[in-house]
Structure 1
Amino acid sequence: MRNAWIVMAVILFLCIFLTHRMQKIPKGKQALAEKAVVMIDNLVENTMGKGCQAFSPYIATLLMSSLFGSLATLFWMRPVTADLNTTLGWALITFALITFNKIKYNGIGGYLKGFLEPVFVMAPLNVLSEIATPVSMSFRHFGNMAGGLVISTLIMGALQVLSKAVLGFLPVPLLQIGLPGVLSLYFDCFTACMQAFIFSMLTMAYVGDARGSS
């Protein structure tokens, strides 16, 4: 919980810093901020369709929260995304958006009728499929980040024990140098970026499909 508040404070500070003293002709940090906004708007429009830029703030928030939450491990903090409560919370918000848009564009009757398609006997499976959406999204993100954290911790511990057994005469665990850095580069950086992008893309795909399912 504490790490989540730290991540939110960092994101808030970054937003305030990038938008401070904005000018009519963008340059420097303002140009960087506007470029990021345009990229998010284009990503949302290309994925969800025209007229969906109202979702851009939510998608940008997901991207930044997931990315910074996962990269917290680079600063000796437990990654926020390695907590199932965090990813499940994001997935439930996405699920609420999916349900809201299905009802908005199909009506209550159309939404309920969708559970009976293609035949009414499929209703239980359709309900399970609906519930599985937030569950799968949350566990996918959580599993990748928590799994990487566990693997890195186990390897670090094993290398420390091996270093003491083989090179115990040295003042530092020499075998811990090198491999953990490579693993950190993969699990902490590459996986963090990939999972943030995948979670956001799934959100856009599901919500976009709900809007166009009418």
Structure 2
Amino acid sequence: MFEIVDGAGNVILSRTIINSLLVVILLSIFAFYVNYRVKKADPNEKPKGFLNVIETLVEAIDNLVRTTMGEKFKNFTPYIGTLALYLAVANLFGLLGFTPPTSDYSIPFTLAIMTFVLTQYYGIKGNGLGGYFKGFFEPIWFLFPINIIGELANPVSLSFRLFGNILSGVIIMGLLYSALNSALGILSYIVTPVVTSVFHAYFDVFAGLIQTFIFMMLTMIFVSMAADE
């Protein structure tokens, strides 16, 4: 929605960066508020209302991590929880009239690179440096180039899956708004919100949350498989 440019017309901050920063700021405010509520809560009383929802969310993510990755990865929960919140809010940003940051390939690719680095780190940690490199020559030594290509393809496929689904939704919604506004004229102020709400429910809410879950699951699977090989 916004871009910051200099006097020569050069873009200093693109809307992708600005929208991504807005997501981070919103999540930071949310985190401080949750921390404030938790500190004020009585530990001897059962959580109610807002805190009960937060506790349920934390337990759900923790159970998902333990079930998918195993008990030894229980400390991975904060990262997966942060990843889930960022992607969910970023993918749903279109509902507020902003362009979702994940519709720009730089954001999904950056997140995929983070997953790739974690995968390599836990692969070396779990198997040792020798076992890590040995895995590229299995099951047969001449498959080494294919194994390398397969490893490098993971962040590309992971990022393109998220990027493609979110960008396609942004394009379709943009075309739909343009078509309705052109065809209906002044009536578009009444009809357009009704018609587009159904498509927003699919492209922003359903597809956005599904892609968040898929990215989370693939991150956990790639890391846990690398550590167990």
Fold agreement, TM-score > 0.5: yes
Shift of 1:175: 5.4
Which AA in structure 2 matches 1:27?
P
Counting matched residue pairs gives 207
- Kindly report which structure 2 residues correspond to 1:60-209, keeping only aligned pairs within 5 A, or say none: 60-164=81-185, 171-173=186-188, 176-209=192-225
Residue aligning to 1:9: 25
TM-score by length of 2: 0.86
Q: 1:131 to 1:183 in 2, by over 3 A?
A: same
Deviations 1:64-91 (A, max 9, x none): 0000001111111110111111111111
**SS of the counterpart of 2:59?**
helix
Q: After superposition, give the CA deviation of every residue in 1:34-88 in whole Å (9 maximum; x if it has no partner).
A: 2221111100000001121111011001100000001111111110111111111
Q: In structure 2, what is the Cα distance between the partners aligned to 1:22 and 1:13? A: 18
Aligned-partner Cα distance in 1 for 2:55–2:72 = 19
Cα shift readout 1:1-41 (whole Å, capped 9, x = no counterpart): 11111111111111221221243134233332222211111
The answer for the alignment partner of 2:47 in structure 1 is 27
TM-score (norm 1): 0.91
Q: Distance in 2 between matches of 1:175 and 1:54?
A: 49
Query: Aligned AA for 1:195?
Result: Q
Counterpart CA distance in 1 for 2:58 and 2:202 is 27
| Alignment partners' CA distance in 1, 2:72 and 2:181 | 55
For residues 153 and 73 of structure 2, the distance between their equivalents in structure 1, rounded to whole angstroms, comes to: 25
> Tell me, which stretches of 5 or more residues in structure 1 are unaligned?
165-170
User: Cα RMSD between the aligned structures?
Assistant: 1.5
Deviations, residues 82-119 of structure 1 (Å, cap 9, x unaligned):
11111111111111110001111111111111111111
**One of 50, 56, 78 as aligned partner of 2:71:** 50
8 Å contact kept, 1:103–1:111: yes
C-alpha distance in structure 1 between counterparts of 2:195 and 2:226, whole Å: 45
Measure the CA separation in 2 of the matches of 1:4 and 1:149.
Answer: 16
- Match of 2:20, SS state, is helix
Find the residue that maps to 1:172 and give its secondary structure.
helix
1:168 corresponds in structure 2 to none
Distance in 1, matches of 2:218 and 2:135, equals 21
Please list every run of 5 or more consecutive structure 2 residues that lacks an aligned counterpart in the other structure.
Answer: 1-16
Overall identity of the aligned pairs, in %:
35
Check whether the contact 2:118–2:223 (CA below 8 A) recurs between aligned residues. yes
Amino acid at match of 2:195: L
CA distance in 1 between counterparts of 2:144 and 2:136 reads 5
